[in-house]
A and B are shown apart, each in its own frame.
Chain A
Amino acid sequence: MSAATKQGFARVQELYQDRTQRIKELKEEGKKIIGYLCIYPVTEIMTALDLVPYRVLGDMREPITKADAYLPSVVCPFLRSCLDLGLKGKYEFLDGVVTSHICDVGSSLSGIWRYTVKTPFHYNIDTPHTTHDTSLNQIKGVLKAYQTAMENFAGKKITNAKLKKAIILHNEQRALARELYELKKQDPPLVSGAETLKIIKVIQSIPVVEGNALLREVISEARTRKNKPAKKNARLLVWGSILDDTPLIEMIESLDANVVIDDTCVGSRPFFDDVKITPDLIDGLAQHYLVDIKCPRTFRARDFYAVKKNYLEDLKTRFSYLSDYAREWKANGVILQSVRYCDTHGYEVPQVRDYLKEIDLPGIYLEHDYTVGGLAPLKTRVQGFLEIIE
């Protein structure tokens, strides 16, 4: 077990400042650590094989120097940063890396990582991008092949019971994360947006069992602690591409606003739907990872021809969950944000904006370049937006 003496928020802060701390201890204990990029690699299969999933993230505080040789400066700076850290040896403790076809740059990175960072084991899951029945069939096959590859790597087979247990453990994490978000429905929220991001980042950096224990501590502490977020005028929903560090959220929350709900992937996205326990467990995993997770990398309209017929209906099908979030968390404004050059989110922005206009929810779009500097002009925009919705 971890020798951690700190608990709850203090432990979150400790692991946020060095998120490799625990994973390196586990490595020394002989555990195999598997890095995964994005939220599409199926972590339940890793857990079932007693491998420790560890989310590969970038570092916006570290200038990109080595990745330039492989990924040009006109592509996603988050992915460039991940590769940069890999090239600098900061992911040396990984025994394997699992990527998936998240976007074009992400899938290029997969191959580049394999040949340059040379993590001992590497697997790429070719996740389809639509939710048609054929795609659903395809991903079932893809996940079975992935399972076999992971079994070969671990040198053991996954039994049905073990996979079921892993799914239940991960579902427990999802339920706890939702419980954490429940605390943000209060006004003022019991947990700030920046704290939420740190908590989610940290639980993706430790084994699921430990993450669940930490979530329980944090939830109980948040309910009773005195030092909670102040009441602010605006309650915001933050939508968009990956935000794996806090500066942008802290900038927003330094103004008259609390971030009460998000639709981002170091945020609510991986947690808001459970994996269903199905007779063939792969079916439930396929449904979850292809259909249920809501990221623009998957086009989630079931019938393409219906989409063409009615734009508004299509918007409703795809984004009505945002209206639910805004209603349930009483958000009165939306920050749409994307890291520069993220085509996946960039192309989605006009449609999300159209949808927000339709439901009469004010929103503002910010593009940022995955650095900690350069936030002052964005601050003026956010403050201007808050003055409008005041």
Chain B
Amino acid sequence: MIPIYFAGIDLGSTMTKVVVVDESEKLLAYVVQHTGAEHRRLANRVMEEALSQAGITIDDITYIIATGYGRINVPFADKQITELTCHARGVSHFFPNVSLAIDIGGQDAKAMKIKNGKLIDFMMSDKCAAGTGRYLEVVAQTLGLSIEDLGPISLKSTHKVSISSICTIFAQQEVSNHLSAGVPLEDVVAGLHDAIAGRVARMARRLKVEPDVVFTGGVAKNTGVVRALEENLGCPVLVPSEPLLSGALGAALIARETALKAQAEGKPLQKVGRKLEEATFFKQDDGILSGN
């Protein structure tokens, strides 16, 4: 029997993730790269890297689903599905008993209520950088730290400060004020993590917090935010070993299910013209700007 493959690509505001799975849901390859201004256009390169890792070509892939903020502009995807549905599916793969998934990415924060592996409700915050990965990036830059350092530093804190502003710009001022008042760095960073966790926990509580709670997205790599989230939610928070992948993995798994379902029903699989090439922007008129 010829092996068949499925792929998911998650174009986030900050990171692009590609996952390739086979018929038995086995993860064959994954790539995580910065999206950047160029890479949003060049998502095909990330895909090519994943393909070479798996040792296959684009034609070997039966079905490709794109998700994430940049999902519309993937010329080689067969279908677009929101990151909400894809995260829910990806997280359920790692943690079958998940009831609440929290994802904090570069641009937004989401809380997803999941039942039997399916998304049933969600909340999103996406109006500004407050309480997202970008917030931590900006503050880390102000402090002259790398983003990876924030978690370990905050875990040393004994008296975390309270950061009242979740606005990225004002929080920077508050950080400076605390530091000039002599507050130890670890207490300031712990305060920032608490501010993020508090904000997302308020959103999550509106969906009812029940175990298992799973935390994904780039910010889930920060051990300090994980601890702060556990404190704010009052329950353990599980983090997958590669928290960035849940969206792309979910997309790949849904691609697999869509293809197998079509096969079982004897229906043709709806594919769009698949071109492994650079995305061209603003050609598709999705009606938002035209007003007609």
Contacts and interface: CB of A to CB of B under 8 A. Distances in A.
Interface of A: 13, 61, 245-247, 250-251, 253-254, 372, 375-377, 379-381, 383-384, 387-388
A199 B93 CA distance: 48
Given A372-B288, A380-B84, A380-B126, 17 more contacts: A61-B291, A247-B288, A247-B291, A250-B287, A250-B291, A251-B286, A251-B288, A372-B289, A375-B288, A379-B288, A380-B83, A383-B82, A387-B82, A387-B85, A387-B119, A388-B85, A388-B121
A387 B291 CA distance: 25
Chain B contact patch, size range: 20 to 34
B82 A254 contact: no
Interface string B120-134: 111010110000000
Query: Max chain B CB contacts within 10 Å: which of A254, A372, A377, A388?
Result: A388
Contacts of A251: 286-288
29 contacts: A61-B291, A245-B291, A246-B291, A247-B291, A250-B287, A251-B286, A253-B287, A254-B286, A254-B287, A372-B289, A376-B69, A376-B288, A377-B108, A377-B127, A379-B288, A380-B69, A380-B82, A380-B83, A380-B124, A380-B126, A381-B124, A383-B82, A384-B84, A384-B85, A387-B82, A387-B84, A387-B85, A388-B85, A388-B120
Contacts of B127: 377
Contacts of A379: 288
Contacts of B122: 381, 384, 388
Nearest to B68: A380
Interface string B58-85: 0000000000010000000000011111
Q: Which 7 A-B pairs have the closest CB atoms?
A: A384-B84, A377-B126, A384-B82, A250-B287, A387-B85, A383-B82, A254-B287
Contact of B119 (A253, A376, A384): A384
B82 A372 contact: no
Contacts of A253: 287
Interface of B: 69, 81-85, 108, 119-122, 124, 126-127, 286-289, 291-292
Contacts of B120: 388
A296 B119 CA distance: 32
Nearest to A380: B82
A377 B288 CA distance: 12
Nearest to A61: B291
Given A380-B124, A384-B122, A250 B288 contact: yes
Nearest to B87: A384
Query: Max chain B CB contacts within 10 Å: which of A250, A381, A384?
Result: A384
Contacts of B84: 380, 384, 387
Contacts of B291: 61, 245-247, 250, 372
Contacts of A387: 81-82, 84-85, 119
A380 B109 CA distance: 13
A187 B280 CA distance: 35
Nearest to B286: A254
B245 to A, nearest CB: 19
Contacts of A381: 122, 124
Nearest to A374: B127
Contacts of B292: 13
A246 B126 CA distance: 22
Query: Max chain A CB contacts within 10 Å: which of B121, B124, B291?
Result: B291
Contacts of B288: 247, 250-251, 254, 372, 375-376, 379
A173 B222 CA distance: 61
Query: Max chain B CB contacts within 10 Å: which of A61, A372, A377?
Result: A377
Contacts of A388: 85, 119-122
A251 B120 CA distance: 22
Nearest to B123: A381
A35 B185 CA distance: 61
Contacts of B85: 384, 387-388
A217 B84 CA distance: 43
A384 B81 CA distance: 8
A254 B290 CA distance: 12
Nearest to A60: B291
Nearest to B121: A388
